[in-house]
Every structure is written in C-alpha cells, then in structure tokens.
Amino acid sequence: MKLTNLLKNLIILSILVIGFGVASDLGASSLDGETLTWLSIWPPVIAIILALATHEAHLALFIGIWVGASMITGNLFTGLTTSLDTFIVGSVTDHGHASILIFTLAFGGLIGVITANGGLKGAVDAAGKYATSNRRSQMATAVMGLVIFFDDYANTLLVGNMMRPFTDKARISREKLSYLVDSTAAPVASLAVISSWSVFQMSLLEAPYKQFGVTVNPYFTFIQSIPFSFYCILTLVFIFLNVILKKEYGPMHHAETRAMTTGKVLSDTAKPLSDPSMMEVTQSMGSSHWSNAFIPIFVVVAVTMGGLFITGMRSLDFANPSIRDIIGASDPYASLIWGASFSSITAIGLSIGRKILSLEKALDAWINGVRSMIMACIILVLAWTIGSVCKDLKTAEYLVSISSNVLSPAMLPFITFITAAAISFSTGSSWATMSILVPVVLPMAMHLLNMEPNATVESPIFLATFASVLSGSVFGDHCSPISDTTILSSTASACDHIDHVKTQMPYAVTVGVLALTLGCLGIGFGIPVWIILLTGIAILYGVIQFIGKPVESA
C-alpha cells in the first residue's frame, strides 16, 4: 500500500512539474496572435489527468486553471493571481452562472426542509408500495428523468435528490443513480420539442439561415433533426434496456455488486460532492406525509414553467405569440430561481402550518441544505473557470482547425461528432461547444452540399450534421470530469464525482461509438435513419445481454 501511494504521488508530482514547466517555458511564446497550437488543449488535459489520478476534482480543476492562466500571462505567479482575481471572479459574476449558483443553493435549502419535515421519508414510504424491488426503483428513476424534460439542471437536481432515498433503500449504488440522473437529463431536454435546450439550438440556426437566405423555419429544422440525434436517443434506449435486463459491465458491475451484497451505496473511499447527513435535524413528532415533499416539488415545476411563460411574454411586443416564441424569449435563469425560492417558502410554510417544525428549526434545516451544496458550487465555479481559460486559449478553435482539412459531405456528420465530443470533453460545456461549432460547421455543410439553400437544410446530411453537434456535445459532456452537468449529477446523487465519471464512461463510450460508427457514418453512406435506429437498438440489446453480467444478490 505504501509503495502504491508513493508511486501515485510520484506520478502526480511528475504531472505537475511537466504541466507548469510547459506553461512557463512555452506558453507565452507560443500563444501570440492567432496561432493555434496543441498547447491550447494543455490545461484541460492536465485537469482531467489529475482528476482521474487523485480523485480530487477541486484541486485538479484549480491546477488546470492556474496552468492555463500561466500560459496566457507567461508567468506562474501572475498566472496564479490572474486565476483568482480575473478568471474565477469572472465566472462567479457572470449572470447565468450566478443564477445557477443561486438556484443550486436554494434547491439545496428546499431539500433540507423537506428532509427535516419528514416529506422525503413519507415519499419513500409511499413509493415503497411501487418500488418494491431494485429494478422497479431504477425504472422509477429513469421515468422521472423523462418527466422533467424542460431543463437539464432542474432535471438533475430534482431527480437525483428525490430518488436518492428510494434507490438507497433498494440497494442501488450511488454510481448507478448518478448515471441514471446524468444520462436522462441532457438527452431528454435536448430532444424535447419545448425546453431550454431546444430553444437554444433553434437560436443557433438563425444566423446561418440569414447568411444563406434560408426561409425554412428553424423550429421545423430542429424537429426534423431529432431522429438524427443518435447518441441521445440510443442513450435513453440503453438506460431502459439496462434496467429491464438488469445486467451490468465494467466498473458499474462492481459498484452494483457492492451495493447489493453489502448495502454500501458508496465505496469506502468515496468523497460525495454533497452530504445529505448535513440536512438531517431532529425530526418533530408531527406528520411525515409524502405531501410535505410533493407539494414543494410541484411548486418548483409549476413556478419554473410559469416563469418561462411570464418572462417570455414580457420580452415580446407582438400579439398572439406561439409557444415557441414565448419560450425562446423567456429567461430560464430567473424562472429557475423563482421556482426554487417559492418552493422553499412553500416547504417552510407547510412545516410551520402543520406544526412539524418551528420557524427556527425550519430555517436551520434550510441553511443546512444550502450548506450541503457549497462544495458542489465551488466545483461548478472551477469548471466554468477552466472553460473560460480554454476560450482565451482558443482550445475549441484549435480542435476545429485540425479536423477541417478532412471534411467531405459523407464524412461531415462523423467528423462533426468527433470534434464536438472533443471540445465538450475538454471544456466541460455542451452549450459552449454548440455555440462554437454551429456557426462553423453549418456554413461548411452548405458549401460542401452545394444545393439550393432550402433543399440543403432538409437533406439527411445537413440534419445529421446539425444533430451531430448536439449529440457529440452531450457525449463529451457525459465523459468529462470537468462538465458542469456531470458535476451536478454527482451532487444531486451524493456520489463521489470521479466514481461517477469512471462508472458512467464505459456505458457512454459504448453508445457513443455506436452512434458515431453506425449513425454518423451510416447516414453519410445513405442508410435510412430508421434502419440505423433499429439496428442500434438491436446491437445495444446484444451488448447488455451478452457482455453484461447479472448483479449478485446478498
């Protein structure tokens, strides 16, 4: 054991020496002007290697930020100070980021209150009548992930926190819970016809459409592209096949076997990003009815959806707008904050009104819930910060530049998927990846296909290329330890973050490779989309059935 630890420490020290050595010696002299070099990907590479080697995601991210800032400034000390007073401060003060932090903290407060007032316990007891087995609990979690379709952040925090008591009781590992949460959040939100993701994707189409004189409604293009989102569709198929067949492989099999045979839902070395025990206060002798949790959770969903409508209507200055217009003009960040805040007030009011908690104990429970989310918020800020550093280093532009010379119409979806996955994995942001790639890839598709503009945007190659930006982004996001949604999934599930990444990656790679080879290549060579999807489903069934192994019972 001592030898293993010594070797591990030597590896970590070597990574740090090489990382900072490259940053200080080569960074400033190689990043001048518009020159793009392999150094652009150095900070995220260092962060990812350190995260996997140390299990200390916070430290790994900060080192990656420091290395990147040192490359930008050309000095290690200046890089450190710039990391603190420029990049990190900039991440916290960004309007969208600050809104997500407030929502996350307020939602943690809500979970603290409905834990203390017995609502979650009541919900567990009520759901126990249905979730009578390990399989049923997993199925309930997956279905819950489909129901919360309007935003991936809300999906992650709602499903993870609500289903954790059920899955713990059913001896489902936290790694499996976080996989179910993470792998339904973005895929569901991105495929939904009305969601924060769908509106964002449509907005990206407007500039290229104006540039090339396309008159087709971007919303129609988005709807047409849904069947070509091979990774997102096949990920959802994989989840339900996995739950139904109840077979696992890779690190997930080990995690599920541990949970089932020993009752340990976390590994012995796990360091969960959130700590549900911090929310536990002495519960009053009052009611532990499920409605103490259900009513506040319903308020989150209702107020958030209502907020999208209200903020959207405020921003429009014409009569009879469509739902798409309203959602497109809405402020999802304000809506999420309203939802979490009003639900917290509702939970506290219910607890006091039903004489379960005093005002003092209800507020203590809320603060304990907020406190449980602090570590998650820190890692979110660090993830956003390294994304900002990567933007300044032109990481995405470099990855695009090395793929642009091998494009042909048939290979366009294939190369686009790989590029999107690489950028998303390196930067930890699906939306940033889509923002960067769509303005580059879609005009490229218009030129390569060389057809009438309206006909081009309805061709399978164009639709598959557009969908490959989305699917590749989500795939890279699922595999990246510095992704904000992956971090939130670990947080909501109270799972060790690196354990979540390590157990999810084999499943994500399985689907990703299939989506890339069968889907993106298949479309390029003219295979109909329905044949690709049916074949993909059959292959996934075979993988789980014949490679997966049953989980041992206690």
Q: Return the closest-CA partner of residue 109 out of 321, 353, 329, 274.
A: 274
Other C-beta atoms within 10 Å of 283: how many? 16
Strand partners, 272: 496
* Per-residue model confidence (pLDDT) at position 82: 92
Q: Residue 550 in 3-state DSSP?
A: strand
Q: Summarize pLDDT for 407-463 with one digit per residue, the tens.
A: 678 888 999 999 889 888 887 778 777 877 777 788 778 877 878 888 888 899 999
Backbone angles phi, psi at 415, to 5 degrees: -65, -35
Which residues of the chain are modeled with pLDDT < 70? 1-37, 51-52, 55, 57, 124-125, 127-128, 131, 150-151, 154, 194-196, 199, 203, 273-288, 328, 376, 396, 399-400, 402-407, 554
Domain ranges of the chain: 1-93
Count CB-CB contacts under 10 A for residue 545. Answer: 11
DSSP string, 21-75: HHHHHHHHHHSSTT---GGGGHHHHHHHHHHHHHS-HHHHHHHHHHHHHHHHHS-
497-514 and 42-54 are packed helices; what angle lies between their axes, rounded to 10 degrees? 120
Within 13 Å of residue 239, how many CA atoms lie on the same side as its CB?
28
Q: Is residue 181 within 8 Å of 159, Cβ to Cβ?
A: yes
167: which 2 tokens?
Answer: 């899955």
Cα torsion through 48, 51, 54, 57, rounded to 10: 160
Which residues of 135-254 form beta strands (DSSP E)?
247-248
For residue 154, what are the contacts with CB-CB under 8 A and spacing of at least 6?
A: 148, 300, 301, 304, 336, 339
pLDDT of residue 282: 42
Q: Are 152 and 336 in contact (CB under 8 A)?
A: no
Compute the Cα dihedral for 134, 137, 139, 141 and give only its sign: negative
Q: State the Rg of the chain over Cα.
A: 23
Q: How far is CA 215 from CA 209, 378, 443, 447, 449, in A?
A: 7, 45, 15, 17, 17
